[in-house]
Amino acid sequence: MSENPYESPASIVIDTTVQRPNRLPHRPPSRPIGVSILSVLHFLGGFLLLAAQALMLANLEAVEESLQIIGIPPVLLILGVMFLTVLVFASAVGMWMGTKWGWWLAAFYYMYSIFRNATALYTVLSMADQLEGAHRGPGYYFAKHSIRIIIHFLLFLYFFKGNVLDFFGLEDIEKGKAVTIIVGICLTITVVLTGFSFLFA
């Protein structure tokens, strides 16, 4: 029997048995294994920095004599180690939690490490003659800081990978602008610390 075209809408039975495709709930991206490893390494590095700072304070006179050779004020070194300790611990927590500030701190840490090793490399080159008679010559320190620069640069690039940015909720970040900000901060800190080293030397 055909349907009555003049049948009132109220008498039409609506079939609610039609199955609709299930919608999966939104799941936050899982933490990349590289971020997990770096977070743990940052925690361990923070404890090592604390131990190094305690050892340095316990032997401050001997440290001061060594620093006078390369022209670094002891107070500047102590403050620098304290800054790095806080930065490493904070970035470790931020990376583990997947926060945006954790990404910024971690990316800044690796770029700042590049600047620190580049500064150390410059110091090695400027003191090459004095290091010739040392147990480890300038070639050793040049290779060490050069390798560190390469490693930290690769780790800095890692934080701009798509899955890493997704984990931190920064998939829409302007990469060029982020790099400019981080490099600008590192350059400013380096210039200020260099100025202080000349002031207190």
DSSP string for residues in 136-171: S-HHHHHHHHHHHHHHHHHHHHHTTSHHHHHHTT-T
Q: pTM value?
A: 0.78
Judge contact between 118 and 149, C-beta under 8 A. yes
Average pLDDT value for residue range 103-112:
97
Q: Please, what sign has the CA dihedral across residues 177, 180, 182, 184?
A: negative
% of the chain beyond a pLDDT of 90:
52
Lowest mean pLDDT among 46-60, 86-100, 153-167: 46-60
Predicted confidence (pLDDT) at residue 146 exceeds the cutoff of 60: yes
- The alpha carbon dihedral of 182, 189, 89, 123 has a sign of positive
Q: Please, what is the average pLDDT of the chain?
A: 82
**pLDDT at residue 81, rounded to an integer:** 87
